[in-house]
Structure 1
Amino acid sequence: MTFSIVGRCAETGQLGVAISSSSIAVGARCPWLRAGVGAVASQNITLPALGPLILDELAGGLTAQEAVDRALARNGYSQYRQVAVVDTHGHTAIFSGSHALGIHNALAGEQCVAAGNLLASAGVIEAMVAAFEHSGGCLASRLMSALQAGQQAGGEAGAVHSAALSVVDDLTWPIVDLRVDWAEENPIGELEKLWLAYQPQLQDYLTRALDPTQAPSYGVPGDE
């Protein structure tokens, strides 16, 4: 019911997740990121707690695979979970339990991991990794390219209805955190529209937060 790409930019150190699902509000449960630590997609029969637990273990010094193994062991029912992780150094870990739904696959690439379940084919995940590795631009754009490649390769076996894109840099909050919680059709296309609208404003919002004296005006009442 979900396919995702977790990636790191080797140039900037940014970490991010792009994800889509047939379920509502996938962005509320599945992507977890922490600047300077790692990024996690926790999916299939989702346990949201796995994301923060894995990030805590990474912050404590465990490798990506050790962090996944320890978090799964602590919570049980690992056979129902699917997890993809990239740490702040670009090291990866993947796990797909024996009860992962339908056609499922998970694959690590260069500075990325893609994973999915209830897929149209296992090749969806391979297409996502290839797109991430060969696309240009900033991390968010590369993640979106990978998500779109997964959709074009067949995506889920059924329709998807939600999508999300999140990126962290060196701040305590995400510099990109965009969600389509429900769309009858093409939530990935709607997410792409959000990203294209937000991208030229991204730096302005960082400036507003970090140095209000240099904040650009948006021309609304009271905004001078």
Structure 2
Amino acid sequence: MTFSIVARDKATGYFGIAVASRFFAAGAVVPHLAGQVGAIATQALVSPLYGTEGLTLLRSGVSAQRVIDTVVSRDEGRHSRQIHLIDAKGRAAAFTGEKCIDWCGHLVEDNVTVAGNMLAGPQVVNAAMESCLANADLPLEERLLTAMDAAEAAGGDKRGRQSAALRIVHDEDYPWLDIRADDHGVPLEELRRLYAVAQERYLHFAKLMPTRGNIHGPLDRTEIDRKIAELEAERKRTGRPSASFATPAA
């Protein structure tokens, strides 16, 4: 199951993973990320241990390829698994087991890797990679969403659609953005809606979250509140509805 893209923004060092599948809640098991450490996608006959143990190895300074060599070599089920990842230096690596279901395969470039199985064909991963490389000027999250749209337009998962997810980490272990459509007829469209909702309020409040460098977080939220109020006023002025399904205040 699944096609996914793992990318690192060269300018900021931020990591992101986007995934889509004809499988329930792929975002719960495929993406594994930590700020300043790396990002790992594990799929096909998925082993979450590839992600959790892989991040432990990355934290110790092991390279992306060494992570694959380690977790794959000790797993007798490796023939049915995929893993692709990027380490803190932007080195990318990937593995596709010989018994993964066709079409299956991966592509690797500096700071980006794409992989998939049970796909309509190699054009799916080709489209995702080409899109990601061609849109390096976009913010990381938009670059990944655009690449996933390109992959879906090229055929995507040959069985159909069910779930999709996008996770982004900045410099922390917790995600800056983590959105999922676990059971949806058009999950990538639902991710776009959720990203639009996040831009209305959530991503502005995310700036108030404590970080490694400032464990208290900003203590004055005045500027954030002002920005959100301005955006809300502009949305109402132009007659643009909110992307959110949230109920209004009582």
Query: What's the TM-score, normalizing by structure 2?
Result: 0.83
Change (3 A) 1:14 1:202: farther
Query: Does 1:141 find its partner at 2:142?
Result: yes
Label 1:207 to 1:62 Cα distance change in 2 as closer, same or farther (>3 A).
closer
How far apart, in 2, do the equivalents of 1:3 and 1:28 lie? 14
| Aligned pairs (5 A) from 1:166-205 | 166-183=167-184, 185-205=185-205
Please give the secondary structure, in 1, of the residue aligned with 2:85. strand
Match of 2:238 in 1: none
Question: Which AA in structure 1 matches 2:48?
Answer: P
| 2:93 aligned partner | 93
- Structure number, greater radius of gyration: 2
Equivalent in 211, 219, 224 of residue 218 of structure 2:
211
The gaps in structure 2 that reach 5 residues or longer are 210-216, 230-247
Deviations 1:154-210, CA, capped at 9 Å, x for gaps = 101121100000010112310010000101x21011111111221353542223322
Distance 1:202 1:112 in 2: 27
The 2-side partners of 1:47 and 1:181 are apart by 19
Query: Residues 165 and 179 of structure 2 are in contact (CA less than 8 Å); yes or no, is this contact kept in structure 1?
Result: yes
What's the counterpart of residue 114 of structure 1? Answer: 114
Distance 1:115 1:207 in 2: 32
Aligned to 2:77: 77
Equivalent residue letter for 2:158? A
Q: Which one-letter code corresponds to 1:180 in the other structure?
A: A
SS of equivalent to 1:49? helix
What are structure 1's unaligned runs of at least 5 residues? none
Distance 2:192 2:47 in 1: 27
Provide the residue aligned with 1:156 in structure 2: 157
- 1:40 deviation in Å? 0.6
> What is the aligned-residue RMSD (CA, Å)?
1.7
Identity of aligned residues (%): 31
The TM-score, its normalising length taken from structure 1, stands at: 0.92
Corresponding position of 2:7: 7
Q: Distance in 2 between matches of 1:212 and 1:99?
A: 54
Structure 1 residues 68-127: Cα deviation after superposition (integer angstroms, max 9, x where no partner): 110122333111110110112111010000111121120012410000001101111011
Q: Which has the higher contact order (CA 8 A, sep 6+)?
A: 1
Contact 1:21 1:160 in 2 (8 A): yes
Opposite residue 176 of structure 1, the aligned amino acid is: L
Q: Which amino acid aligns with 1:73?
A: S
What amino acid does structure 1 have at the position aligned with 2:220? T
Distance 1:23 1:88 in 2: 30
Assess if the C-alpha contact under 8 Å between 2:39 and 2:87 holds in 1. yes
- Letter matched to residue 213 of structure 1: D
Contact 2:33 2:173 in 1 (8 A): no
Counterpart for residue 38 of structure 2: 38
Within 2, Cα distance between the matches of 1:59 and 1:207?
25
